[in-house]
Amino acid sequence: MTQSVKTLFLFAFVAVLIIGTGMVQSWNSALLILNMGLVSAVMALGVNLQWGIAGLFNVGVMGFVALGGLGVVLTSMPPVQEAWSAGGLRAIGALVIIAATVAASAYIWRNFRKAWLVAVVLIGGLILYRMVRDPGVAAIEAVNPAVSGYLGGLGLPVLFAWPVGGLLAAGGAWIIGKTALGLRSDYLAIATLGISEIIIAIMKNEDWLARGVKNVIGLPRPVAREIDLQNNPGFVEAAAGYGLDATTASTLYVKLSYSLLFAIVLVIVLVLAQLALKSPWGRMMRAIRDNEVSARAMGKDVTFRHLQVFILGSAICGVAGAMMTTLDGQLTPSSYQPLRYTFLIWVMVIVGGSGNNMGAILGGMIIWFLWVQVEPLGQGLMNILTAGMADGSALKEHLLDSVQHMRLLTMGLILLIVLRFSPRGLLPEK
Amino acid sequence: MDFLNALVALSNFVLIPALAYGSQLALGALGVTLVYGILRFSNFAHGDTMAFGTMTVVIFTWMFQSMGISLGPLPTALLAIPFGIAVTALLVLGTDKVIYKFYRRQKAKPVIIVMVSIGVMFVYNGITRLILGADEQRFADGDRFIISAREFKALTGLREGLAFKTTQGLTILTAVIVVILLFWFLNKTRTGKSMRAFSDNEDLALLSGINPERVVMVTWLIVSALIVIAGTLYGLDKSYKPFTYFQLLLPIFAAAIVGGLGSPVGAIAGGFVIAFSEVGITYAWKKVLRYLLPENLEPDSLVQLLATDYKFAVSFMILVIVLLFKPTGLFKGKSV
């Protein structure tokens, strides 16, 4: 079986899985899986660019996804005028001070190499920052804390937020890449893991930015609202024509619109990634991945290329994160868990086949499907296993309760099995 | 008097907690460093192995408690630790046999083994949650304090109280004993010496007839013991929650790297560097400064450099600084 036939076959299999879900469970859950599967596929493409093509071990995916989500709030929410007048200047000033402090200490270190001077600048900058920031933040957070208490966004249409999310993630990646790239592979892994935790900590604690753990809800949507569709007589009539009631038809319509938008983004990213892979640039990246020393000897600037691909991959993860937050309609910083947003994406890339873009997409769809479906499957399994036990026995209840944790176990087993028996994944790199 | 009050406040809120936390980190970092030195990969499953090990201790503790066995003023968990170590060692050795051994034979690249350890992390995490769930569990019993704040105030007549928790005392004491035992083992026994030789130069060690599988097995045994002890002490001191243990991965790695990966002395030093900076930077210094500074200089704000939630940022910043300026760590670890 040639690779392209295999690719076709496996994607057909994914289609069968999703259509099967639609027939057996409901079309709504099938579309839910499809939508998040598409988002996951975009994330997997980003990670694949970094790992599959350039060999960078980034375990901070969660941070970039979260930055993308932050981008949605900062772009699409209406600005809170009162908060801006209360402390907007101070907040911006504080950010400028921090940036200036870091830049100044980097400059001093590069030109004078005096550690004590750097320390003085850093501590002075930090004190100045706190003096400017603290009253401003207090003022912003005091503005109607129950519904706003933050600066709000720019009030732009939400679709703009997707590239903005990508840009934010790219900016974050630039800072991280400047410090952490060039470290050994496992140091880079630990550094990115740490940075993603810090990004989440900032999003949880800086209430003036995006309300922290109070969450931003009611984000604008790029598609119609269900309730508007249900009140639209033309839509209800059309739905009746397909034999659907208005409620079901409206939820399906909304989800399908999202699917369409996500599919467009996925195709754009995929085409760009394929072009990059096949271009001289892609060949150079793979040459660097396979033998850094000889690539360096051929005059390639390895550090710069690593930074480049790290930023690109992270930006793609940021776009995916913005898409996901738009789909959810809210930003909840406490929902970002590394197992779900970093390591699961890694499972997708490895299972799909690292280095192969189609593989990344396939892995994204299949693993997401499993992630969602393992729970009902496990539930069924446990029900059969515990059928013989007396009702109300502690063991039975415990077993039924813990079904929700089957996911992690299953994902771990899948990752281990693939790494052991088929380390190149379902669709190996050509 | 004011100076004494300041000193007591400092010990109560910074020195003693940081000492206890540092000991826990040091034990954890010793495990990371040993795995790195002998097996030559960064073990991402470390935090979840810790969660698993502590879970077994929690379960044995509950069993003993229900049987009415206790250690009086000391936590029952101490009695359960050996059993926890045994179960964890079985799991870890089994994992090595089924999973890591294959890649060792293949001489796979370290980054591949790191990825494998991520798979192991998922599986351990899943097992822990399947058995005990993801919620917070309490398993501490016995006396809460060696000396409580009120007793201390009554004893000394100072305005500041000093609370010294049993778990803190136990942590520091246990850490000292474990570290002494470990160093004795590494420096004096034959197996320990062969481990160090293997870590220094694998080929030479193999030439001189050291059995690598035995070295690896002993390493995993020691790592299980260290990790269960560290996890149990952390759980007694704070509380047990699987996700917290996963998050401990970061400060533990930071400690091991700051000290120098592969260097046991470095791991201990790194643990304390991380713990003291973390506690020191996130502590509100107002109370201490109020005693030390003359009245007109007293600070109005809390004098807290960073909010407590940014404690990860602290270990991370230290990590970055060390990696940028002294990539092999304080105690000349490896940089392969």
Write out chain A residues lying below 8 Å of B121, CB-based: 343, 412
- Does the structure show a pLDDT above 80 at B231? yes
B139, amino acid identity: F
**Taking CB atoms and an 8 Å limit, are B312 and A197 in contact across chains?**
yes
HEC assignment per residue over chain B: CHHHHHHHHHHHHHHHHHHHHHHHHHHHHHHHHHHHHHHCCCCCCHHHHHHHHHHHHHHHHHHHHHHCCCECCECCHHHHHHHHHHHHHHHHHHHHHHHHHHHHHHCCCHHHHHHHHHHHHHHHHHHHHHHHCCCCECCCCCCCEEECHHHHHHHHCCCCCCCEEHHHHHHHHHHHHHHHHHHHHHHHCHHHHHHHHHHHCHHHHHHCCCCHHHHHHHHHHHHHHHHHHHHHHHHHHCCECHHHHHHHHHHHHHHHHHHCCCCHHHHHHHHHHHHHHHHHHHCCCHHHHHHHCCHHHCCCCCCCCCCHHHHHHHHHHHHHHHHHHCCCCCCCCCCC
Question: Is B296 exposed, middle or buried, given 0-12, 13-18 or 19+ CB atoms closer than 10 A?
Answer: exposed
Question: Is A118 exposed, middle or buried, given 0-12, 13-18 or 19+ CB atoms closer than 10 A?
Answer: middle
Q: What is the CA radius of gyration of chain B?
A: 21
pLDDT 10s digits, B91-119: 999 999 999 999 999 888 888 899 999 99
B123 vs A191, A350, A409: nearest CB: A409
Distances (CA, A) of B182 to A268, B53, B268, B280: 57, 19, 12, 29
Nearest Cα of chain B lies from the Cα of A413 at a distance, in angstroms, of 7
Write out chain B residues lying below 8 Å of A56, CB-based: none
Nearest Cα of chain B lies from the Cα of A264 at a distance, in angstroms, of 32
- Residue of A187, A340, A386, A406 to mutate for B, most B C-beta atoms under 10 A: A187
| Residue in the structure block whose two tokens are 């073990």 | B43
Q: Which helix (H) or strand (E) holds A64?
A: helix A61-76
- Residue of A101, A334, A409, A424 to mutate for B, most B C-beta atoms under 10 A: A409
B119 vs A184, A195, A416: nearest CB: A416
Nearest Cα of chain B lies from the Cα of A223 at a distance, in angstroms, of 37
Distances (CA, A) of A408 to A55, A413, B46, B134: 25, 9, 16, 12
- Does the structure show a pLDDT above 80 at B299? no
Print pLDDT tens along chain A (430 aa). Answer: 688 899 999 999 999 999 999 998 889 999 999 999 999 999 999 999 999 888 899 999 999 999 999 999 999 998 888 888 888 888 888 889 989 998 898 888 888 888 888 888 888 888 888 888 888 888 888 888 887 788 888 889 999 999 999 999 999 999 888 878 877 777 888 888 888 888 998 899 888 888 888 888 888 888 888 888 888 888 888 888 888 888 888 889 999 999 999 999 999 999 999 999 899 999 999 999 889 889 999 999 998 999 999 999 999 999 999 999 999 999 999 999 888 899 999 999 999 988 899 999 999 999 999 999 888 888 888 788 777 777 667 777 777 777 777 888 889 999 999 999 998 999 998 7
Write out chain A residues lying below 8 Å of B131, CB-based: 402
Which pairing describes strands B145-147 and B164-165: parallel, antiparallel, or unpaired?
A: antiparallel
**Taking CB atoms and an 8 Å limit, are A412 and B246 in contact across chains?**
no
Write out chain B residues lying below 8 Å of A196, CB-based: none
Q: Residue A271 CB: number of other CB atoms within 10 A? A: 11
- In this prediction the ipTM stands at 0.89
Nearest Cα of chain A lies from the Cα of B129 at a distance, in angstroms, of 6
Q: Specify whether the CB–CB gap between B259 and B33 falls below 8 A.
A: yes
Residue A82's beta-bridge partner residues?
Answer: none
